[in-house]
Structure 1
Amino acid sequence: MTLALQIILVIASLLMSIFVLLHKGKGGGLSSLFGGGVQSNLSGSTVVEKNLDRYTLVMVIIWLACIVGLNLIQAYGV
């Protein structure tokens, strides 16, 4: 059980990092370093941004659940 949670945690962490970097930048921050400053048709779509927000939120919930689960297993030895 612990190994499965650890694997899910690593995958969720990687996906969450990718989804955060894919968000459209509001200014000249890190996203403009990766070409986020370039205007394209897909990046301006509100549907794409909404879906990306949802996917990021799901990854955050999975990540937090894995952290809590691993801490409970460590604390109580379930």
Structure 2
Amino acid sequence: MTALLVIFLILWAVSGVGLIVFVLLHSGKGTGLSDMIASSLYSTQTGTNIIEKNLDRITIILAVVFLVCLIALMFVYPQGTISA
């Protein structure tokens, strides 16, 4: 294992766990079809506060890091190189 492979694997795993945690931290907007219909009719959107905006930013950054690491791992560790 090369150092580059280890770095990408650790970054990929940390960003994956972080992505799960931050997605679960998001507040729910509604719990069913009736809430979806009611929200479109009554548009009571008051805007998001700064905490929710930062939570969105962190989630997007973690998703981008996860995808970049995944694509980089495809090139660093190509298919067929794993020997049992």
**Same fold, TM exceeding 0.5?**
yes
Corresponding residue for residue 10 of structure 2? 7
Percent identity of equivalent pairs: 34
Cα RMSD for the two superposed structures: 2.2
Distance 2:53 2:67 in 1: 21
What are structure 1's unaligned runs of at least 5 residues?
30-43
* Mapping for residues 45-56 of structure 1, pairs under 5 Å: 46-56=49-59
Task: In structure 1, give the amino acid aligned to 2:30.
Answer: G
Shift of 1:45: 5.6
Please, which of 51, 54, 62 is the counterpart of residue 59 of structure 1? 62
In the other structure, the counterpart of 2:39 is none
Choose between structure 1 and 2 for higher RCO, CA contacts under 8 A separated by at least 6 residues.
2
